[in-house]
Structure 1
Amino acid sequence: MPISFLLMVNKQGQTRLSSYYEWIPVAEKAALESEIVRKCLSRSELQCSFLEYRGYKVVYRRYASLFFIVGTKPSPDEEENPENELGLLEFIHTLVETMDKWAGSICELDIMYQLEQVHFLLDEMVMNGNVVETNKHNILRPLDLMERESKKADAMYR
């Protein structure tokens, strides 16, 4: 199930991270992003976390002050390869759990100030729009190695 885009947005609607796995023109990307964010933020907690908008199936979940939004394009032959919204919801949960394990308790500031590491973590999980890894230990191992090497280099130059 190819993911078209992933957004991390705060409660005010400010995008903190966006990752696109299909080419969308910049103007359309900005309009799509703002419309989807507005739609997700305006829904009550009692409403379903799935919606269809502009040909995308959108799955979102709120964790504390952040909304995690994933969009996919349904396949042309829906009967052969149906999109699994619950699978995407589970992917979002795994992403948040992995980020929590990495940063303690993930918050908006962690994403803003460590954006490169968050992108790296996301790239370990998703490649070309496909989820390739969900094992938290395997995802965090390269990040831990990078941090250890960075600390060694810092210590060597002091």
Structure 2
Amino acid sequence: MIHFVLLISRQGKVRLTKWYSPYSQKERSKVIRELSGMILNRAPKLCNFVEWRGLKAVYKRYASLYFCLCIDQEDNELEILEIIHHYVEILDRYFGSVCELDLIFNFHKAYYILDELLIAGELQESSKKTVARLIAAQDSLVETAKEQASSISNIIAQATK
């Protein structure tokens, strides 16, 4: 089971967190501080698995971001690396060569995509096409809602003149 997902920049700034196990806010801050310090200080040639507090942290660096997932000891690290890569590929497909700024300014989309991939710490959808279709459907719903809100506000503005 995946306990949490962290996206950390090379400067140690947290760009995305998703918690699947119960942690208090104080514990979350401590976890982020410990893991980011541990991962950021590791040499690039070392393996991408770190044992931590009876769990395993599996991470992978893409450009300026570290994608880190914390799993149980008995879980398969290579499968988690594939999940990380799968998530990055879907982000790349959606944003067109995703970068840190895409995640900063469109964090809600990054969370939505992650929610389409993982539910309760388990892989939900392995098909990139299915996830892309679901994201496109959600985007069209958002656009429809914006258009309706705009037309309603225009009607209200005309009625109050």
TM-score when normalising by structure 1: 0.89
Of the three residues 126, 130, 136, the one matched with 2:118 is: 126
SS at match of 2:109: helix
- Structure 1: distance between partners of 2:13 and 2:132: 27
Give 1:73 shift. Answer: 2.5
Partner of 2:159: none
Larger radius of gyration: 2
Q: Map residues 104-143 of structure 1 onto 2, 5 A cutoff.
A: 104-143=96-135
Of the three residues 58, 76, 96, the one matched with 1:84 is: 76
Give 1:154 shift. Answer: 4.0
Instruction: State the one-letter code of the partner of 1:107.
Output: C
Are 2:60 and 1:61 equivalent residues in the alignment? yes
* Per-residue CA distance 1:20-53 (angstroms, 9 max, x = gap): 0000121111111111011111111110000101
Are 2:15 and 1:23 equivalent residues in the alignment? no
Partner of 2:95: 103
Partner of 1:78: none
Instruction: State the one-letter code of the partner of 2:42.
Output: R
Give 1:123 shift. Answer: 0.6
Identity %: 33
- Structure 1: distance between partners of 2:18 and 2:144: 31
* Per-residue CA distance 1:47-79 (angstroms, 9 max, x = gap): 0000101122010000000000000133xxxxx
For structure 2, the 5+ residue unaligned runs are 152-161
145-154 vs 15-24, greater mean Cα deviation: 145-154
- Structure 2: distance between partners of 1:24 and 1:130: 18
Instruction: State the one-letter code of the partner of 2:61.
Output: R
SS at match of 2:11: coil
RMSD value, Cα: 1.3
Partner of 1:151: 143
TM-score when normalising by structure 2: 0.88
Partner of 2:156: none
SS at match of 1:61: strand
Instruction: State the one-letter code of the partner of 1:27.
Output: K
Are 2:40 and 1:48 equivalent residues in the alignment? no
- Structure 2: distance between partners of 1:155 and 1:17: 29
If each structure's helix is expressed as a fraction of its own residues, which one has the higher value?
Answer: 2
